[in-house]
A and B are shown apart, each in its own frame.
Chain A
């Protein structure tokens, strides 16, 4: 029983990371109908810059805030140079290549500056594990899924209640109509990439104490975050959250009861099976395209 609880808690911690990354994909997709495939590297930038900030003698809170800000700048700039020029044309895939390319560039640059070693980001959340009915877990690990849940709720409210949120939904629905209504479409899209990047870099800062900051940390997390977004239905924030947490827990159980080596095989196999059964993802709405 303790073992099952242990796997569930550990899985929720990892799943929370996937969910945070997937929420970023959700935000970008639901306004721009394009995503930033370098989103995993946004997470890496957040974590790596926070460690470098602490190295430079900054207090942890300042280093984290600045690195999240830098992540936001990265997201907005990337939208401007790697996404916007390509999305004007319908069905363009230029943005996919461009964002993947920028992700690889960011990773190479980070390797040059940061070196090949992983580094720790100090946090009181990982000093000692707490015991939950016999299962051990770091407070920081519980914080991650909690933040993911709060952000999902907040995001839902913002989209329904605030002017900007409504504008984002309008842009997602029909760019041209939104522009005719006086919405500055480019600014809204840039804003959504910025918000997504804040989530990504914030996730990086949150997970760095648990998994360590390194130049290569973003790739697999980014890919799994995207997989989770697709499984959950990229148009639904709660769907993405649930899928993220479930994916993390599933991975732990596969590791625990089958083997670690089987993890990626089973997890990605499940992803394909879900997509075959639910082409829109588990919670996604069918997107009708009017011609």
Chain B
């Protein structure tokens, strides 16, 4: 959505270097081989100038290899796995306009420390590339804060009951629990905690920003989620204008109907960053555009990119700095900016 609207806006003003931009979409279905295949097709058959990366971390990690072999700029807009972008290659063609697990981990641990009374924090993560990739990041962030996790609990997709994990975390005395989970499993953890009478403060990465409020009902109230962008709550004029365009184009009535607002905001900014890079490069050329990405300066929706990327720092292949991460909280089925909920006061 975000990418399509940004492209329409740019094309309405005459495109980039006199040519309109075009978006070609492929579905990786969450399968890494499909993502790799798509990468080659985008580069060689469709001859695109850049790739926008998708939802699944495992796919992005697999794409790092062909992207750098081919040398086509890749700008991820969702998947947050640290190693997908920080892959140790130079020159590195993998960029990201999204959250990064390493920074999200630090951000969440910082929030957890601020809210925990006992300093005891537990970590629940899904047994996938995303969850396992985040474990060392969270452990490192805890260490930096001078603490250790009192419980690390894992679970599989589609697990129906997490009471054993909830009991262990409860008995370890954790009063804050960090989640690296998706909505479905996040809901099962909440319900299991409810069953064993365990009510810690919960702060999660954005896998639980989809429909947790609908699944878990009142149990989700007060669960905090990190985001880069949200349409919920009060809108400033810029946000309002984008929302009006989205609601007209996709027939949405309520900002709640946008399932992954961070992705929309990130993709919107990513397209503008790429467009500016093409302009600075003066050509639709992969290597020149990659160079130019480091010079992009942009007042974006999600962040003020100044500059978007930094060639001298391998960590800065990521455009959105942690200071732009936002904490949101579930309240009666809606995921609102935390300042606009009753839970904002505890911060």
Contacts and interface: CB of A to CB of B under 8 A. Distances in A.
Interface of A: 3, 6-7, 10, 13-14, 17, 117-120, 126, 128-129, 131, 135-138, 207, 210-212, 214, 216-217, 220, 252, 255-256, 259-261
Nearest to A3: B167
Contacts of A256: 164, 167
Interface size grouping (class) on chain B = 20 to 34
A211 B164 contact: no
A255 B161 CA distance: 10
Contacts of B317: none
Contacts of B313: none
B250 to A, nearest CB: 15
Contacts of A210: 160, 191
B118 interface: no
B167 A260 contact: no
Contacts of A260: 127, 153-156, 159, 164-165
Given A118-B183, A212-B215, A261-B154, A6 B163 contact: yes
Across the A-B interface, the 7 shortest Cβ-Cβ residue pairs: A136-B195, A256-B164, A118-B184, A211-B160, A255-B164, A129-B195, A10-B163
A220 B156 CA distance: 12
A136 B165 contact: no
17 contacts: A6-B167, A117-B211, A118-B211, A120-B214, A129-B194, A129-B195, A137-B195, A212-B215, A214-B158, A214-B184, A256-B167, A259-B154, A260-B153, A260-B156, A260-B164, A260-B165, A261-B127
A141 to B, nearest CB: 9
Contacts of B276: none
B156 A212 contact: no
A27 to B, nearest CB: 24
Interface in B127-170: 127, 153-156, 158-161, 163-165, 167
Contacts of A10: 161, 163, 195
A262 to B, nearest CB: 11
A282 to B, nearest CB: 24
A114 to B, nearest CB: 13
Contacts of B155: 260
Contact of B197 (A119, A136, A252): A136
Nearest to B194: A129
A287 B316 CA distance: 68
B195 A138 contact: yes
A136 B194 contact: yes
Interface string B198-237: 0000000000001100110100000000000000000000
Contacts of B164: 7, 252, 255-256, 260
Contacts of B159: 260
A207 B161 CA distance: 12
B154 A216 contact: no
A126 B192 CA distance: 11
A13 B160 CA distance: 10
A10 B165 CA distance: 12
B214 A119 contact: yes
A6 B196 CA distance: 8
Contacts of B187: 118, 120, 212
Query: Which of B183, B191, B210, B217 gathers the greatest number of chain A CB atoms within 10 Å?
Result: B191
B188 interface: yes
Nearest to B168: A256
Contacts of A216: 158
A159 B158 CA distance: 35
Given A118-B215, A120-B215, A212-B187, 11 more contacts: A6-B167, A6-B196, A117-B183, A117-B184, A117-B259, A118-B211, A119-B211, A120-B187, A136-B195, A255-B165, A256-B167
A14 B161 contact: yes
Contacts of B158: 214, 216-217, 220
Nearest to A210: B160
Contacts of B184: 117-118, 212, 214
Nearest to A217: B158
Given A118-B184, A120-B214, A136 B160 contact: no
Contacts of A220: 158
Contacts of B153: 260
Contact of A117 (B154, B156, B210, B217): B210
A212 B191 CA distance: 12
Given A6-B167, A10-B161, A120-B214, A136 B183 contact: no
A7 B164 CA distance: 7
A261 B183 CA distance: 20
Interface in B236-285: 259
A260 B214 CA distance: 26
Contacts of A214: 158, 184
A36 B155 CA distance: 29
A260 B159 CA distance: 10
Contacts of B195: 6, 10, 129, 135-138
A135 B195 CA distance: 7
Nearest to A251: B161
Contacts of B215: 118-120, 212
A255 to B, nearest CB: 4
B337 to A, nearest CB: 23
B29 to A, nearest CB: 10
Contacts of B156: 260-261
A51 B161 CA distance: 21
Nearest to B171: A3
